[in-house]
Structure 1
Amino acid sequence: MAKHCKISVAMVADEESVQRSYTRSCILKVDGYSRAKALLKNDEYLTSPPFSVGGHDWAVTYYPNEPVPSYTRNHGTHTFSRKAPNWGNHNLMKKAKLERSEHLRDDCLTIRCDVTVMKEILGEEETRASPHDLHQHLGDLLKSKDAADLTFQVGGEIFPAHRCVLAARSSVFKAELLGAMEESSSSAIKIYDMEPDVFKALLHFIYTDKVSPVIDVAMASHLLVAADRYNIGSLKQICEEKLCCHIDSNMVATSLAIAEQHGFPRLKEACLLFLASPPNLEAMMTSNGYEHLKSSCPSVLKEIIAQILPAEWNAAKDIIMSI
């Protein structure tokens, strides 16, 4: 059975939705190709952080020491199932040919994987009978403020909203606004510990099921915490994926602290994978978020130290994790 070995991998991804499919181009970047080849045996591999295409989670695995012939191959479509969840190219390129080619530059190998997920094709009659403009109408309702029956005060700004819409989209809002809590009888609610632009983006998603396509990593971090606070699962997934796909030395400490404090295992795994590289770890220690990570999540620092120690130092790893 193949053994999984973690090596530092960076991944960027962009998704495009067309009429009948979702497509995402993912780039698996292997910094230190020669080190990976030396450390990994024939049955060992490295893997990308998880990413989502068409509502499914995916990951790219790469075996640097698999014996393969010296040619490339293109494949058509493939149907995944629970019995066959993995699929890939076992006959890609000989190592000798790869190492002589232009694909390996400065000991860095970049692998691009294009994933296309076909949408379910509905019959013409069913398509005509299934309008998709509900969230547009709700967005217009939020914008017009018509029939708004409560307001939120966030950092000095006022946001009108509709009690029933919020309750329908968030179990937390439902408990607060329709249950026995104090907010259920109030038409003016104050929100603390949240910036106005974050709450505005939260409301926009609740009504429209959409996040701005130009959302930056910092906003994604704040919005992830807000989505967790109000238990909005789809928004948590979007923001977590955004952070997983855009990890760098400046934001990794902040992302790791959020993952540890709020329980986001995918984000934590992606951060630890990035920090398995000593240069990335050193750069993280000079970032603005490092001191907060060190004071708020000391246990996760032990995990980082344990994972970068050589495999033969298992006793040292146990000692570190027990301190």
Structure 2
Amino acid sequence: MGSPSMETASMCTAEKVTVSRCSSHKEKGTHIFEIAGYSLKKGMGVDKFVRSATFTVGGYDWSIRFYPDGTGESTEECIAITLELMSSNAAVRAFLDFGIAKHGSGLLSTSFKQKTKAFTSRTSSTRQLSLFIVRSSFEAKPVTYLQNDLLMIKCAMTIIKDSQVSESTVGSEIEVPPSDISEHLGKLLEAKEEADVTFTVGGETFEAHKIVLAMRSPVFKAQLFGPMKETRMRCVTIEDLQPAVFRALLHFIYTDSLPDLDHLEGDDNCEMIRHLLVAADRYAIDRLKMIYQTIHGKNLNVENVATTLPLADQQNCDKLKNICIGFLASSDKMGDVVATQGYANVKRSCPSVLINDLEKRRRSRGA
């Protein structure tokens, strides 16, 4: 895209210096291409594809192609997805997050990393980016990637727009890199450097830093710096919490990011999310609690609404509770909900929740 940007200065008067500045700006956009009936697309043949609608990011037109049986460049075990620049006579530089998204969270799989790519529409080889993905790597995890036979391809783009020249006084702005504090804190947790407290959870031990825990959780702050006995102890025992849950909780406390649960499938994944929601409420980590309320809400269905409602009530998740009640109020499958084993179990264990919310909705609909 031309020679590197340069700065030149010239003396206009004895009192003032001006700079001719070459600057750039960014535009961002995200497109999700949903492949409904994924299993029915298989068998189309090599180099056969379905194309997304054309979408615009940064003033340029793009589209995504999905090859269910791969291309001539891939192996038989792979699918292929291709991002294509559709605008004619264009040269673009873009930062990309491109790949298969997870159901529920909408996040990209950790298998797909950010790439920098220069696109030009003048030749076919430079106006597109292709990824080849081993089919078994995501088909083995249908709950995560293929719920209801739906595959989601996601492309998040940052377009670096053409440079513009402007004049200003000396003191040019220097581009500041993005924050990497969470990365450093994550390494601090891993290395255990200067750790000053040890937790025993279900027979496993975890070393951590009191000040970090207190900064992120008012409950830990009270335990570790308040008048409670833990302030005088270097080792704290935590009951009623699984080691895997506490490990995931520490990961979020230090990095402010969700732990990778790709290794868990189906009921195990749902159960871990439930435990983390309980832990987030227990330690008053409101952001984590809100994130998992959102995940529960997006994955609500007839089979799990009867168990999610009392969980929301017990953990003071008002937003999730309202989503459950709204689901029941708008659902035409109240009879199906009542027939589930989850409904029967919860009715025995906490009938007040269901009497006040679930069955009231049922009666109002004449079920």
**1:33 matched to which residue of 2?**
none
Q: 1:259 aligns with which of 288, 312, 319?
A: 312
List aligned pairs for 1:74-89, cutoff 5 A: none
Q: CA deviation at 1:290?
A: 3.9
Contact 1:294 1:301 in 2 (8 A): no
Q: Select 1:159's aligned residue among 206, 219, 224.
A: 206
How far has the Cα of 1:138 moved from its partner? 0.5
Cα displacement (A) at 1:153:
0.7
What does residue 224 of structure 1 align with? 277
Indicate conservation of the 8 Å contact 2:198/2:207, yes or no.
yes
- Kindly tell me: are residues 52 and 211 of structure 1, through their superposed partners in 2, closer, same or farther at Cα, counting changes over 3 Å? closer
Instruction: Give yes or no for contact 1:254–1:293 (8 Å, CA) kept in 2.
Output: no
| 1:20 equivalenced with 2:67 (yes/no) | no
Could you say which structure has the higher strand fraction? 2
The 3 A distance-change label for structure 1 pair 251 and 218 is farther
Maintained 8 Å contact 1:177/1:184:
yes
Once the two structures are TM-superposed, the CA of residue 263 in structure 1 deviates from its matched residue by 1.6
Where in structure 2 are there 5+ consecutive unaligned residues?
1-25, 35-103, 107-153, 159-171, 263-268
1:1-323 alignment, distance < 5 Å: 20-21=28-29, 128-129=175-176, 131-214=178-261, 216-276=269-329, 277=331, 279-283=333-337, 285-288=339-342, 290-310=344-364
> Matched residues in 2 for 1:297 and 1:126: separation?
62
Cα distance between partner residues in 2 of 1:290 and 1:126: 64
SS at match of 1:237: helix
- CA RMSD after TM alignment: 3.9
Alpha-carbon distance in structure 2 between the residues aligned to 1:184 and 1:306: 47
Per-residue CA distance 1:59-97 (angstroms, 9 max, x = gap): xxxxxxxxxxxxxxxxxxxxxxxxxxxxxxxxxxxxxxx
Higher relative contact order (CA 8 A, sep 6+): 1
One-letter amino acid of the structure 1 residue matched with residue 250 of structure 2: L
Question: Secondary structure, in 3 states, of the residue corresponding to 1:248?
Answer: coil
Letter in 2 for 1:208: T
Percent identity, aligned pairs only, is: 38
Task: Tell me the distance in 2 between the aligned counterparts of 1:196 and 1:274.
Answer: 33
Q: Hey, what's the Cα distance between the residues in 1 that align with 2:274 and 2:304?
A: 9
In the aligned structure 2, how far is the partner of 1:310 from the partner of 1:25? 39
CA contact (8 A) 1:253 1:289 kept: yes
1:238 deviation in Å? Answer: 0.5
TM superposition shift of 1:136: 0.5
Conserved? CA contact 1:275–1:281, under 8 Å: no
Tell me the TM-score normalized by structure 1: 0.56
Q: Does structure 2 retain, via aligned residues, the 8 Å contact 1:244–1:270?
A: yes
Normalized per residue, the structure richer in helix is 1
Question: Per-residue deviation at 1:299?
Answer: 3.6
Q: Distance in 2 between matches of 1:126 and 1:231?
A: 40
Deviation at 1:148, TM superposition (A): 0.9
Deviations 1:104-123 (A, max 9, x none): xxxxxxxxxx9x9x9xxxxx
Shift of 1:247: 1.1
TM-score by length of structure 2 reads 0.49
How many residue pairs match? The answer is 212
> Is the contact between residue 252 and residue 284 of structure 1 (CA under 8 Å) also seen in structure 2?
no
SS in 2 for 1:211: coil
Cα offset, 1:269, TM superposition: 1.9
SS at match of 2:200: strand
